[in-house]
Structure 1
Amino acid sequence: MSFPRLRVAATALALVLGVGLAAGPALAQTSLDDPLDARDAKRVDRMEKVVRELRSIVFQLKETGKPVVVQPADTDARLQDLANRLGDLEQTLTRINGSLDATSQEVDQARRANADLQAQVKALSDRLTAVEQKAEAAAAPPAPAAQDAPAPQASPTEAFAKARELMLGGDYAGAEGAFAAYVQTYPDAPRAPEARYWWGKTLSVRGAHAQAATAYIGAIRGWPKTTWAPDAVSELARSLVALKKPADACATLSELAKRYPKAPPAVTSRATATARQAKCAA
């Protein structure tokens, strides 16, 4: 604030103070029972405010020697602005709390769904394990019953001949027991692989394809150069098709062509039919 303005302010202060002093006696003579009207009260409030501001300007300028800028009182406006900001902050916090509640519910649902999924996976795993165990049990060759297997003969030759006799006579159940007994009694005999081959034949007759496949595999181990070996390979492929293992059946038939290129026509014909049934690639 410049010094001319200071003089003007001082003059205004003097005038105001003079007016106040002059009005003193008059106010003193006014009856207390005669209150000022509303407009006069407002004027007095404004004049008192101006006086306070002018006095502040005069005294602060006298003490510091620097112009003083009096800011209008805006406390109410600032308080209102602060209240508005607080209101906005409360709304924001409310929205955040709502979002957190929704997220917490989603997390809980995801946890429950994960627990249910783990339970389903465990149940499925248990079922698969049980199926595998049943398949292994079915593939294992059964121990021949004592009442089904005839008593071993004096020599492997006589035991083999007896089993073949039962089979040629159409007694496949008796032949099955006889060949099973031969394999168990004479596992290292020269004709043990052939006994496994004929044992597989009897098993195929009654539809025991898993056990028959096991018998055929034991018969052709080492790819023996015998008359019955090509047929054993062909019968193994047919058992694998019956077990719904076409890929394994096709692999077996490919070995038949490589290992036994001069297989009898009857064996080759059955192998071709089995390849079509398994949908082997040409």
Structure 2
Amino acid sequence: MTLKSALLAVLFASTAAVAVAQTPLPPADPLDDRSAKRVERMEKVVRELRSIVFQGRDTGKPVVVQPAETDAQIMSLNQRLSDLEQTLTRLNGQNETANFELTKANRAAADQKARADALEQRLVALENAFNDLKTQAAAAPAAGAYPPPPAPPADPAAAFKQAKDLLLGGDYGNAEQAFSTYVTNYPDNARTPEARYWLGETLFVREAYTDAAGAYIGAIRGWPQTTWAPDATLKLARSMVALKKTADACRTLDELTKRYPKAPANVTSRAASTRTAAKCG
């Protein structure tokens, strides 16, 4: 069958359908609204078919069938519904993320409060302990007093031994005074640098770090090659750390490594921990 014959057949069928659709119904059997709408849709389809047939016959080009207006609206509504569903899905995801972050924030806040409460309790305990120590100190005012030291001997060797015995006996106050007197009385003696070292020890053990640092500096002036010099250098660095002069502490530790490469193992191990405390590079 040729294209022309097929188009004529379609035209004939559409004309017959229009004729049937336009035939008036008997008055005795009126159509309800639903039937009338069906007839209207049929008439619309017939008109579209006739348009298609004449379009193909007149132009000889492929026929393009345009969707009915209702179908286009349905497609548009479906697209809008799909967009709304995607938006709702995205909002649900964002809501879940927000809830998760809020839960994390609440948990972190609870942890911070717990830590703050623990620190507050520790602070109260420390304050109570400090107050107890103050009360005990007030009740025994002479508990930390040292008896007056004996008069220093005239002989430098005897004076040095007397000061050293006070230190070894734990009488740091009188040992400090004895070594200080020795340094004053015998500034040029061969053992005066060592006396300065022990003077620094009496001060360091009582946390008088500024005075201790001064004594250690006097002891290691000239970097003497003695058994006590590496320890004096280390104690100088530790005094600097206590005084929050970490840069000076790091420089002193560098000099310790440079000047005393064969320092005892206990000195090198303590120097490593001091370097960590000072955060040396």
Give the TM bin, normalised by the shorter chain. 0.3 to 0.5
Larger RCO of the pair (alpha carbons < 8 Å, separation 6+): 1
TM superposition score normalised by structure 1: 0.47
TM superposition score normalised by structure 2: 0.47
